[in-house]
Structure 1
């Protein structure tokens, strides 16, 4: 049975069960009690009082049938076991008047809205239970440090110990500087062991002698009098790193010696080093024999703890600053790669824009002349209506191939008796039997001038269709380039991955038209991702595929498929394959390294494209791999799981 308890009060058993599950990590140090009504809760509080426990926290629902959770929280002051308890009120939706009432009564510390985030509840528990524990200075705070806010508890423990020792000391050592305090302790210890050192506490070690071993039990306290000791810590890969160096006047093994925990670090002498080695028995004998040494040594020990704590905090702050700098550098690297690629793309897009712009300019000049001809046409009203039909049809139809147009004109020439007229009729798309019977043959005598007038309608429709196609082409190019160049959006969007691939292919159309492009798309569900970041991946892969092709025309195949990963997770796979020069086996392992490039001298390549691609894909919990055979092909295969949020 623990000294303190947590009480959960809710009339919904499912909510109580959920609370018990989330409180499970705290059950080792706090007994968990559940209640389904205020009467039930009062019986629980009575049992807690009988067992001489105190309530650390009450988690209460606002609505408890006919009772009010707020009123129950306010009534807690009448129970001695709950007077210091922290309180959390659970609401189905925020109710400001109830919250204000509980706050005004001083019995509400936090308000939680259903459904709550488990991470939020964990933070509330750690904060509020730490506040509660620190109100009991006689409690063993270190026992709670691993579960609750260890920094606050450790700081409070140190401060509490400092106050406790100072209050009982005859001498006040707080005015002494570190060097003076260390010398007084050293002199007092040497004086004690000068005549009584059968335990050989005063020792001298050679270089590379191990004092403490990380993760192993430690039963000694080393006080350094001469020399230097380095403290080392292993990382997750078991690589040893130096944490700090300490010299005369410092203690080694202090924390594990006092708490009984395993050594936090490995202490190794860096040179010939003299120490005073104390076990618990010898430490007690020294302190009991020299009462004037106890305040000095205790103050020195606490100062060592405080320096280590301050050092840890400073190290963590520097680490956070370093991580922030690395994150900024990473984003700058991605942006640099994107802008470098953008410079390449702009030249190709500018060239590609020239053709549709020229077509629009030519079409607009021709339209100026044609409009005046239509407004002054000698055609009858009926033939003008037919001309409008030809215009509308020309705006929607696609041009015939030369061979098909020639074949249909030959067939019509025998009917009309004129090759040129037959060609015009086929071109305008009015060569079907219905048009012949109703439009052409009844007016065969004046068909030449009539076709010339209708040709103006056809040309206007044709030019309008051409202008519309060219304008759409320009819009597609600008959209794709703008999508690639815009700042990365770090929010998630559920998109069809084919849209990003198509936008990328539009950007490269100027180069792709010299090769054979094969698109093999499978039906795919939408992917929750950062589409702009992924478009940078597709851009790099398509660009690399184009650069790898030595002889034109080459072949580039873009394939998408739905697959299952090794752990049966559904995923989207995107494969970009080229029939270029391939990648040598010894280079395939290096292509994702920063600053590595396979591009020949004279070809643009920063050597960061695939490295950035890999990082972006890893952020999506996916992977990228290469399959290549020199002088035959290269496949870049990207796998993106469907059910992994970033």
Structure 2
């Protein structure tokens, strides 16, 4: 039994029989009921109502002996099952007064004169049944798209999905970066077409192949899986400018494909490029077969619209038109960096903003869950107050070294009787004698439960601290756009380098929890540095390590004293001299490794080793190297293909201000 029914009413059995024949194509989705009089029709409606079905359409003849079919259509409102039914009135000849009566009552949707053509009836059925189905948002619309108006249904389905996800859209997708989202879509499309590509959706084009033409109609959507495509736009003088280049994971032709408008830009392959080419029919086929792909694909499409079409294209056009004003406004920057650095700076800031923004979104989402746990806590009032104290300390706490945490937990374990509880107490900073005697031991058998509740307070403090750090880093990155030409004015601070490392690890906590993280911290003296700049270094190195490993992988973060320190260029002004104590920070992963021939290239601008499906601008390590050189330090790579990659940053302990003064 289907959810919906179509009722045919005519006192002429031949008419009813013809209707049944022409409704055959709809019978798999709608149950067909016949009636030959008004009494039978009312019985049919009562039966449908009692059976839990709803009437999608009533096809009714107007001449039913002494009765009028239009009166029956008006009476449909008295049955719950037929209140939303679409109606078609059959007439032997046009009767304007009857039609106007039904229209005024709001119960007539179409009037069909006998004899009708099969094509006319089919068009009416598709149009009216589609309108009916779209008024029922709980239905699986895609189930009806093969029989009804598939374009209206697909558009409505996409809109419904977007409305359904809109309230939690940012939180639901904030855990996926662009590369991860694109990889999921790519994997799903390749899986769909594997061994079933009679439409040749997977194609490879040579260099200079034209995909879209600005101002021309476009019927296709290209999903790039390998290679590179440049998008060009003409200015008001007809001169063509390259406005953006896109690679694997990006879409070409998305806007014109969805809206039906002419192409906004011209897309040309820059090298041998592999794509998945979809027309509307093939797109519908994929989405019908893989319903879980639609929200992912929609999200990817929206990101392309927002970030490339509305952002990159307009921004690049404005940059082309304002080059002269930029020359004047940034003449000091041009003199230092020969203009090439401006592009690197803009791209670098855009690249780095993604991580703290994502961390803030993830942190706020986690905070919502943690707050819910705190509001339903079973702790006593005094233990709740202690939890607040733990939270305040976590917001300002300094990370302990791994060895110190282990030793203090080992010392505390005999008192609390559990190594895990002892470790948690050390992390929360409540392992001293006063807290042990006043907070922990009095809990007796409830200690594990209480510590579990306190851990929620501790986590909240940590996340609040992380959000604050991320917001500060965003502000600093924006500020750097204005003050980049005067980096010597950057404030120096004497800091514990572990704080910056810990803050960076918190930012990546959502990704790191799928892997093994090993921290080996040594006891280190304070380092005079630019902490925000160094945090950009840690962010890039940890991000690269995460991209290099497969789940589950292993990342090691190691700090140690290094002596002697040897500069890459000992004759350079301000370079560290031999026998100078230094700090080494090592970020190691057990990923795919870097071949020897590429290890010397990774610090070059626009060079990237990230595997297919991962977004890489090729500027991260170049920026890192500049920052480290500003601290008179070095960065080097050790790697074995297929086994590991180890990035080693060495920073001298001598006061940087003394070097600058000299």
TM-score (norm 2): 0.31
Which of structures 1 and 2 has the larger relative contact order (alpha carbons within 8 angstroms, sep 6+)?
A: 2
TM-score (norm 1): 0.32
